[in-house]
Amino acid sequence: MPSTTPIATALTRGGQETPRIGSLCVVGDPRGRVASTWLGSCVAVVVLDPEARVAGLVHGLLPDASVDPRRAASQPALFLDTGVPALVQEALAAGARLERLRVYLVGGADPIPSGRSPSDTFLLGRQNAEAARQALHRLGLPILMERTGGRANRLVTVNLAVPAVSVRTTQGGEETL
């Protein structure tokens, strides 16, 4: 069953939960699936406890809540520095155990050329990926697999029946992490 907190807003289609941009979803149904919408510069952080069959995904739009603290208070999943801790908290409340969590990081592309150099610090995808890494580091959670950067948009899906995490790109590739 998906989380019912205000920070969890998801579309349900055919037994699959899809968090909207700037929200998160946690599923504890062994037959459940969680999928992102297509990720460009946004970042999806996925947590999975394969033993408890609990998975969650936050679809973060921006790296840092300090740009709009009032919005962060009402919609923490919009920002990766507040959304990642909220995701972990929701997953633990659904029965996941911190020591069993597998963490995946997907997205953070810069699909639209900025006309700037690759070292430009304004590239939002890179900033989002780094904010997610820092939030996970603060929680003491290592990233098991990461597919970030580049120009390709990505779609991430968690299948709790297996359990497995897969990533598909707009360039036609698909892999199970």
Point out the residues that are catalytic: 42
DSSP annotation of 20 reads P
Q: CB neighbours (10 Å) of residue 139?
A: 16
Q: Give SS3 for 112.
A: coil
161 phi, psi to nearest 5 deg = -65, -30
User: Taking a C-beta distance cutoff of 8 angstroms, is the pair 42, 21 a contact?
Assistant: yes
Asked if 59 and 77 touch (Cβ cutoff 8 Å), the reply is: yes
Contact (Cβ atoms closer than 8 angstroms) between residue 107 and residue 40 = yes
Question: At 41, is the secondary structure helix, strand, or coil?
Answer: coil
Instruction: Tell me how many degrees the CA angle 147-118-146 measures, rounded to the nearest 5.
Output: 10
- Collapsing DSSP to helix, strand or coil, 142 comes out as coil
